[in-house]
Structure 1
Amino acid sequence: MPLQDLPFMSLQGSMLSQSNGVNKRKSRDFLCQGLKCECTPTDLIQQCSPRHKYQRLLTKGKENEVNHFVLARRPRKKESTSAGISWDHLPDELLLRIYFCLPLQDLLRISVVCKRWHRLAFDESLWHSVDLDGLTHMGPALQQVLKTGVCRLRCPRAFVEELQLKGIGPLQIVEMDLSNSIIPTSALESIMCNCKLLKYLSLEGLQLSDNILNCLAKNHNLLQLSLNGCSMFSAPALADVLKSCSRIEQLNVSWCSFNNDHVKSVVHNLSPTVTELNLSGYRESLTLDDVKVLVERCPQIQTLDLSDSTLLTADSFPVLKQLKNLQHLSLSRCYHIHLAALIDLGKMFPALRLLDAFGLVQDSQLPSLKKDMPHVSINSRPFSSIARPTPASKLIGFPSDCTMWNRKCRLRFRL
C-alpha cells in the first residue's frame, strides 16, 4: 500500500509503543528501512500497528450497544491494612492494666471517650488510694471518689459542701485523713455512718457530734485515731468509742474541748493495747490520780505526751516509772516540774531515749542536762507524731510530705 494511504495515527502509535528497549530500537530501525520503499508489505504494517489496548480505549463506553454485550468490571481497590490492633479488640483486663499507669487527670480525660472507657476508668481497682489535697471544689469530687470503692482517702484542709450519699451502700475506706477540713457535720455523719472497716482515721480540728462518734464506734478494727483539736461531743460518746475500739494502738486526743469528765472517760476506758498516747493540753483537768489510772490500764505505753498539764509535779515520776517500756516522754510547759527533778529521769527510766521539756529548760541549761543524760535526746521533737497521718516537718523550708501513714496514694491531684 502506498505510504500516503497509511493511517497517520496508527503509524504514530506504533512508533511510540516501540521506543524503549534494545529490541524495540531494532524493530524501529527495521521499520524505518521498510518504509523507505514505495510498496511496504502489508504484514509489516499490521505488525507495527497499535495494539488492542489503544483500540479498547476507543471503544470504551460502547459495550452495551445493540449487537454487543460485554460484562465490564472495575478493578478492585486494594484495602489499606494497618499494622496495629484496634483498642476495641483489647480485653478489659489489658485496658485496666494500661489505665493503672495513668495519673489522675489523664484518667478523668479518657473517661469521656466512650461508655466502655468510662466504665473501665472508674473501676474500683484503679481507685484504691486517692489524694485530693489541693482540690478547690471538693464536694463533687469527694462524692464521686467515694462511689468508686476507695480504700485509702487523703483530703486534708478540704472545703466540702453538702454530700448526697443516699443509696451508696457501705464504704470500703480503711485509711482516711480529713485533718483540718471544713465540712458540715451532716456531711461528715453521712460518711462515717457508712464506714465500718476503718483502721486509720484522722479527724483533727473538726467539729464532731455524738452521732459521729456512735458511728465511729462500729469500726472495731481501728488501730490509730487522731481527734486532737476536736469538739462538740460528750464524754459518754467518747467512752463508748474507746470501749468498742479495743484494738487501738495510737490515740491522740490532745487539745480538745475537754472538761474533767472527758479526761476521766479517756483514762478509765483506754484499751491495754495502747502504746502511744497524746493527752496534752489539759492544764486544769489532768491530775495525778488520772495518771495513776492511766498507768494501771496501759502498762505497755512507749510514747506518752502529757505536755501543758500544769497540775503535774515531780510526784508523778514514781508513778510513770512503772512504764518499763517508756521511750519517749513529753513534759513541755509542765511548769510545776523543776529542772533538778529532770536530772533524775535518766536513772529512773533506763529505756528512755527522747525527752521533750520545752519551756522548762533554757538554752543555756540544755548542755548540762545533756551531759547528765548522754543517752537521751532532749528537745529534738518539737511536734508530736502520735496517730497523725502526715507528721509535721522538723526542718523549716523542707518540702511538704504527701504521705499518709508512711505511704503515698497512687492517684494524686496535682495543680
Structure 2
Amino acid sequence: MSNTVAESVVDTQTNTGPLQDTATATPSSPYTEQPLKLKGRQRMLAGLKRISSSQSLARLSTTRSRAYSGNGRGSVSCMSLPSTQSLNTPSLATSLTQELSAGYSTAPTSAVSTPGVQLPLFDERARVRYLSTLDGKTSAAVPTDYRPATRSGLTPGIPEVNEDYFSRPVSKPQQKTRDFNFWRDLPSELKMEVLTYLEPRAIVRCSLVSKSWHKMCFDGQLWSILDTADFYQDIPAGALVKIITSAGPFVRDLNLRGCVQLRERWHAKGLSDACTNLENFSLEGCRIDRSSIHNFLYSNTRLVHVNLSGLAGATNFSMKIIAANCPKLQHLNVSWCNNIDARGLKKVVDACPDLKDLRAGEVRGWDDLDLMQDLFVHNSLERLILMNCDSLTDESLTTLIEGRDSEVDFLTGRAIVPPRKLKHLDLTRCRGITDQGLRSFVNNLPEIEGLQLSKCHGVMDATLTDLFPTTPLLSHLDLEELEDLTNDTLLCLAHSPCSKRLRHLSVSYCEHIGDTGMIPLLKACTNLRSLEMDNTRISDLVLAEAAAMMRRRTPRTLVQGGKLVGAAVATGTGTGFRPATGLRLVAYDCQNVTWTGVREVLSRNAEVFVSTHTAELPPLDRQQRSHPPSSPSSSSSSAVSSSTDVHLPHPSSPPTPTTTPPTAPTPPRLHITRTTSYPTEIIQLKCFYTFQPTVEEHTKRVLRGDFLAARRLERKWAEFMMAQEEAGAAGAGGRRRRRRAREAQMMHADEATGTGTGVGMGEGEEAGGVGGVGGGGVGVGGGRRRRARSGGCAVM
C-alpha cells in the first residue's frame, strides 16, 4: 500500500496524469479503508505534495514562479486531486473552455490498479492553463459556482500556485528624489542677467548672503557700466573700492562724480591701475591727487570721453598724457581747472583729430592765435564751451571762425572759408568780445542750434538781425542782460527761418523789450517750451497771447461717456485726464504784469469744455410704440382687451358711423451724447512773489487732474484780488472799508430776532446810509432788537 501511494506521488510530479488522493476517498467507494501512516521518504514526499496543493499558502499578490509558468502544459503537481463524484455530477472538463488547452496528453495513467482511487470515465489529459485571466481568489481547476465554501472561507479544489513556498518578493530599490534648487541649477549667464535688474546698492547687499553670492555679485560682468551719480553718497568707500578692483578690466564706463569718500583710497589695492579698458571716464568733484589721475590716463588708451572738471590735480602734463595715449578722444571737459591753459589744450587738439566736444570754461590763454588756428584747420568741433573766459578777444574769435590770412570776397568783404561745424557755442560772460567779433558768425554757422551770448555787453540789433536769417536750425537762444537790444531783434527772430524750431528763448533783463516785439514772437514761434522774460516791459497782453498760443497749438483730450476718445497723439504728453507741462513762463519783476494776466493763464490751464451732441434714432413701428413687448402693462392690456365682450348694434337702429380719432404725431427719438475736452498741456508760470503760492497750488491741482478744485481756487483768488483793489482805492475806497468794518461789528452785536433802534453816525455822504439816519436812524439789524450796551454812542 505504501508503494502504491509513493508511486502515485511520483507519477503526479512527472505529469503522468490526474490521480485522486487515497486519503480523500468517499464512503461510496468500494475500496474504503483507513489511511496508512507513512514513514521516511514517503512521508516527506506526501508532505511536499500537501504543501504544493494547499490553497491557503498561495501568494496571490506576488509574481509567478518559474516552475509554475503558464506557458507550457499544465502540471498536475499544482492541482489537488478532487474527490470522487457521482455519475450525475457534471464533468469539470466541459466547464473550463477558455482556460484549457485543446491538446491532451496521451500518456497512460499509472494508477489504474491503485486501490481507493476511482478512475474517471474518460481519458483526461494534461491541460494548459491561461493564468492571466484568472482571479487570484478563484481556483484554476474548478469554477466558483460548483465549489462548496468551507469554514475558513476557502473553496476546496485545484488552487493556482503562483510561486514557490521558499521564494521571497524582490523589492526594487527606490530612487531618491533629486533635491531641486532653482537658483543653483540656473546657468551663470541667466543669474547675471537677473542681477542686472537690481540697483547697485541692492547688489552690494546681496553679496552678504554667502561666499558664492559674494563672488557672483562682484563679478565684472555686472559692472561694465559703473555710474555712481545716484548713490555716491550711500555707498561706502570699501564697497566701492571692492567693486572697482574686482571688476577692473570689465568696466567700460566709470563715473565717480562726487565720490569724496575715496580721498584716502586711491592707492589702496591698486585702485588707480585696476581699470584698463575704460572708454568713458569722469572724476568731476573727486578729491584725487595728481599721480592717481596720471595712472588712470596711462592705463587706458581707449578713452573717448574724459571729464576732469574742477580738479586741481589736472595740469598741462595730464593733457600731454592724453595727447600721447588717447588718440580716440572725442569729448574733453577741463572747465574750472586752474592749472590748465591753452598750451596743454593745444597738444590735445593737435593729437586728437576726432575731438568734437571741448568744454574749457574759465581756462586762460584763449588769446593764443595758434590754438585758434589749429581749431580752424581741423574744423571738427561741434560743441565749444568758453564761459567766463575773459582772455577771449574779437581777434581770436575771428580767427576761430574765419582763420588767418583767408581769401576775402571783395563784393561782400567776407572771408571765403568753409562753414563751421559748430552746433553749440557758449560765450557767456566773455567780456572781451564785442559786436565786431560777432559779425564773423554771419553766414559761417549754418548748423548752429544753441547760441548763448548772455552778459556779452556791446551786442547790437544790427548784428543779430543779420545773423538770424542765416541760422535755420537755431533752437536755443540766450540773450540775457543785453541792454542794447530792442524789439527789432524779436521782430527779426519772428520772421526768420528758425522761428518754427525755436524752443528756448531768454531775454531777461533786456529792459527795452516789450509787447511790440514779444506778441509777434509768440504768434510765430509756436513750439516754444521755455520763455524767460523777467525784468522787461511786457504786460498782461503777453500772458494772454501765450495762453492763446497754447490753446491753438495743443490738441485737447476728449472724453465721451467716461471713455477716452481722442488725445494728443502728436506730442505724446497727454495721458488721460492729467495734463503735462508744455510751456514754462518766467515773468516776475515785470511792472506791467498784474493779477489779471496771471488769472488769464490760470483760467486757460483749468479750461474744460462740455459739448452736447444730439442724434435722432430710427422711429419705432406703431405696434411697438403703443404696446412695447417688454413692458408688463402692454401684456396686461392685451389680455383685458381679448377677454371683453363685443356688443353688436340692434338691427332696427341706424348704423352708427365709426370715426377713428386722429393720432398725435410721435416725437422723434433722440440720443444725447456729452463730450468733455480737457487741456493736454498747461503753462507753468513764475510770477510776482505774492501771487506765486496761489499759482503753484493751482498748477498742482491741474497736474493731478482736479479741475474743479483748480477752478474754485481761481474764482476765490479773483474775488479776493478784486476786493483788495476795491478796498485799496483812494477816496471812497477808504470810507467803504471803514463802513464794512463797522457793519460787521454791529451785525455781531445784534441778536437773532427782534427790533430796535441803533445809534450810529455816518461820515460824509455815508451819513444817511446803512449806518443810520442822523443820530437815531434804523440800525443795521433791519428792525431787530439790539442787545443792551453799557456804553453810549460808539462814535462819540
TM-score by length of 1: 0.64
What is the distance in 2 between the residues matched to 1:156 and 1:206?
A: 11
Q: How does 1:173-252 map to 2 (within 5 A)?
A: 173-207=278-312, 208-217=314-323, 218-252=325-359
Matched ranges for 1:266-345 at <5 A: 266-270=371-375, 271-283=378-390, 285-296=391-402, 299-321=420-442, 322-345=444-467
Residues 1:109 and 1:242: Cα distance change in structure 2 (over 3 Å): same
SS across alignment from 2:384: strand
Q: SS in structure 1 opposite 2:306?
A: strand
Unpaired runs of 5+ residues, structure 1, are 1-43, 48-74, 383-393, 398-415
Shift in Å, 1:98: 2.9
Q: CA deviation at 1:360?
A: 0.1
CA distance in 2, matches of 1:381, 1:83: 66
User: Deviation per CA, 1:15-53, whole angstroms, max 9, x where unpaired?
Assistant: xxxxxxxxxxxxxxxxxxxxxxxxxxxxx9xx9xxxxxx
Per-residue deviation, residues 85-143 of structure 1 (Å, max 9, x unmatched): 36444443333233333332332233344444333322222111122234346644443
Task: Say which SS state the counterpart of residue 358 (structure 2) adopts.
Answer: strand
The yes-or-no answer on 1:135 pairing with 2:232 is yes
CA spacing shift, 1:141–1:216, aligned 2, 3 Å: farther
CA-CA distance at 1:188 after TM superposition: 2.5
Partner of 2:193: 97
SS in 2 for 1:315: helix
Contact 2:439 2:463 in 1 (8 A): no
- Counterpart residue number, 1:370: 490
Larger radius of gyration: 2
Deviation sequence 1:283-328 (CA, Å, 0-9, x none): 2x11222112211468221222222222322222432122332333
Q: d(CA) in 2 for partners of 1:97 and 1:337?
A: 56
The range that moved more, 330-339 or 368-377, is 368-377
Aligned partners of 2:217 and 2:430: how far apart in 1? 52
Shift of 1:253: 0.8
3-state SS of paired residue (2:254): strand
Are the equivalent residues in 1 in contact too, given 2:441–2:467 (CA < 8 A)? no
Q: For residues 101 and 114 of structure 1, do their structure 2 counterparts lie closer, same or farther at Cα, with a shift above 3 Å needed?
A: same
C-alpha deviations, 1:203-242, integer Å up to 9, x for none?
Answer: 2222212332223222221222222111213533221112
Residues 312 and 337 of structure 1 are in contact (CA less than 8 Å); yes or no, is this contact kept in structure 2?
A: no
Change (3 A) 1:138 1:227: farther
Percent of counterpart pairs with the same letter? 22
- Which ranges of structure 2 fall in alignment gaps of 5 or more residues? 1-150, 153-170, 404-418, 507-529, 533-583, 585-683, 687-695, 697-796
Q: What's the offset of the Cα at 1:157?
A: 2.1
> Who is 1:64 aligned against?
none
CA distance in 2, matches of 1:268, 1:312: 18
Separation of aligned partners in 1, 2:190 and 2:473 = 54
Q: Separation in 2 of the partners of 1:227 and 1:381? A: 30
User: Is the CA contact (8 Å cut-off) linking 2:342 and 2:366 kept in structure 1?
Assistant: no
Aligned to 1:146: 244
Structure 1 residue 266, shift from structure 2 partner: 4.2
**Alpha-carbon distance between aligned partners in 2 of 1:114 and 1:94, rounded to the nearest angstrom:** 19
How far residue 155 of structure 1 moved from its aligned partner, in angstroms, is 2.7
Task: Look up the SS of the partner of 2:332 in the other structure.
Answer: strand
Structure 1 residues 181 and 199, CA, compared in 2 at 3 Å: closer, same or farther? same
Could you report, residue by residue, the CA deviation over 1:133-190 in whole angstroms, capped at 9, with x for unpaired residues?
Answer: 3434664444333331211222322213131227945522212333233333333233
Does the Cα contact within 8 Å between 1:146 and 1:171 map onto a contact in 2? Answer: no
Distance 1:135 1:237 in 2: 31
What is aligned with 1:412? Answer: none
The residue aligned with 1:161 is 263
**Secondary structure in structure 1 of the residue aligned to 2:222:** coil
Once the two structures are superposed, residues 46-75 of structure 1 have per-residue CA deviations (whole angstroms, 9 ceiling, x without a partner) of x9xxxxxxxxxxxxxxxxxxxxxxxxxxx9
The 1:118/1:142 distance shift into structure 2, 3 A limit, reads: closer
Moved more, 137-146 or 168-177: 137-146
How many angstroms apart in 1 are the aligned matches of 2:227 and 2:288?
17
Q: Which amino acid aligns with 2:241?
A: Q
User: Are residues 378 and 141 of structure 1, via their aligned partners in 2, closer, same or farther at CA, if it must alter by over 3 Å?
Assistant: same
Change (3 A) 1:313 1:210: closer
Retained in 2: the 8 A contact 1:280–1:308?
yes
8 A contact 2:461–2:486 mirrored in 1: no
Query: RCO (CA 8 Å, sep 6+): is it higher in 1 or 2?
Result: 1
2:281 partner SS:
strand
Amino acid at match of 1:153: L
Q: Distance in 1 between matches of 2:232 and 2:438?
A: 47
Closer, same or farther in 2 for the Cα pair 1:169/1:330, shift >3 Å?
same
Query: Which region of structure 1 is more displaced relative to structure 2, 179-188 or 135-144?
Result: 135-144
What amino acid is the match of 1:372? C
**For residue 490 of structure 2, what is the amino acid of its counterpart?**
K
- CA distance in 2: counterparts of 1:366 and 1:141, whole angstroms: 58
Q: Is the 8 A contact 2:244 2:274 kept in 1?
A: no
**Counterpart Cα distance in 1 of 2:438 and 2:193:** 58
Partners of 1:300 and 1:381 lie apart in 2 by 27
What letter corresponds to residue 124 of structure 1 in structure 2?
G
CA contact (8 A) 1:138 1:161 kept: no
Take 1:219 and 1:135, find their aligned partners in 2: how far apart are those partners? 27
